[in-house]
Amino acid sequence: MGRLISRGAAWSFGVALALVAVFPIFWAFLNSLKNLLDIVTPTPRFIFTPTLDNYRQVVSSPEVLIGLGNSLSIVGFAVLLGALFGVPAAYVIARYHVPGKRDIQFFLLSLRFLPPVAVAIPLIAIWVDLGLYDTKLSMVVTYLLVTLSTITWLSIPVFQRLPREVEEAATLDGYGPYGVFWRIALPISATTLMGGIVFSFVLVWNELMIALALTSSRSATLPVVASAFTSLGQEVPWGVINASTVLLALPPIIFVGVLSRLLNSMLKGK
């Protein structure tokens, strides 16, 4: 009886946490379908006439399409390069004797401690001197600092938890260091590693402060474009802002779904 009560309490607590996490997204989606008068009313309205005008205004804006293209290319390359370099680096740190291993891990973690302003100000001077300010290359390199450190830091404990006996058995079967990593360690840890990759994608996809500092027009990302909607006219267009928020949240969800299917098909050998 006590076990059932504890399970029921844990389940209720989990449902409550899920509702708290999902409600802001639900509320933003609801407001994106409302007219401005239905949003600014003192009493929240759950019954209203839905409209798609907010989405039409967002999608019809050429700045949004340019920002979406910039975000996809910049964030995509930054995450791809971060995974290509970060996952093998994490495996080496976790499995081999590397001088200053703890210092390296602390340095990777310290990159996440720095506030965006502390990073953006010197980077502005660097990219301006190199003639790369407001370019996709400068944004990819800047975001690579985030994705590389995040993926490497989160991947190290994944490989540390991998039983050494599995790798030793593969070595006895004739696999070299590269074979053990690509054929044994990576496939076994792939599902867990995906969490770090997705997390790094979400971090740089939603990043605003650095993008505001390092871009002006040509390489402005989608969060920068979305933030500009607050300056449309004298009245704050809450419906448009909520619609842009919903559209901004869609690519990470799609990315997670595509990556999950790709990973599942690779593990199943399809």
Q: Where are the domains of the chain?
A: 54-268
Residue 266 has pLDDT above 60, yes or no: no
Band of residue 140 on the pLDDT scale cut at 50, 70, 90: very high
- Which range has the worst mean pLDDT, 8-17, 63-72, 85-94, 149-158? 8-17
| Longest pairwise C-alpha distance within the chain | 72
- Whole-angstrom CA distances from 92 to 98, 184, 191 are 8, 14, 19
User: Per-residue pLDDT averaged across 47-69, rounded?
Assistant: 84
Asked if residue 56 has pLDDT above 50, the reply is yes
Separation between Cα atoms, residue 94 and residue 180, nearest integer Å: 14
Q: Check whether 233 has a pLDDT greater than 60.
A: no
Is residue 161 a contact partner of residue 245, using CB atoms and an 8 Å limit?
no
User: Where residue 172 falls among pLDDT bands split at 50, 70, 90?
Assistant: confident
pLDDT of 183:
86
Checking if the pLDDT of 137 tops 90, the result is yes
pLDDT range class, residue 25, cuts 50, 70, 90: confident
Distance CA 4, CA 222 (A): 48
Confidence of residue 83 (pLDDT cuts 50, 70, 90): very high
DSSP state of 219: T
Residue-level pLDDT at 270: 44
Q: What is the pLDDT of residue 260?
A: 67
Q: What is the pLDDT of residue 143?
A: 93
In this model, does residue 128 exceed pLDDT 50? yes
Mean pLDDT to the nearest integer, 242-253: 81
Query: In this predicted structure, what is the pLDDT of residue 147?
Result: 92
Q: Which amino acid is at 127?
A: W
- Residue range 37-62: mean pLDDT, rounded: 82
Instruction: Determine how many CB atoms are found less than 10 A away from the CB of residue 140.
Output: 20
Look at residue 236 and give its three-state secondary structure: coil
Based on the number of CB atoms within 10 Å of its own CB, is 12 exposed (0-12), middle (13-18) or buried (19 or more)?
exposed
What does the block give as tokens for 259?
């990556």
CATH 1.10.1240.10 at 54-268, yes or no: no
Q: Please provide the average confidence, as pLDDT, over all residues in the chain.
A: 82
Indicate the pTM of the whole model.
0.80
pLDDT the model gives residue 4: 63
Tokens of 240: 């448009």
pLDDT at residue number 78: 94
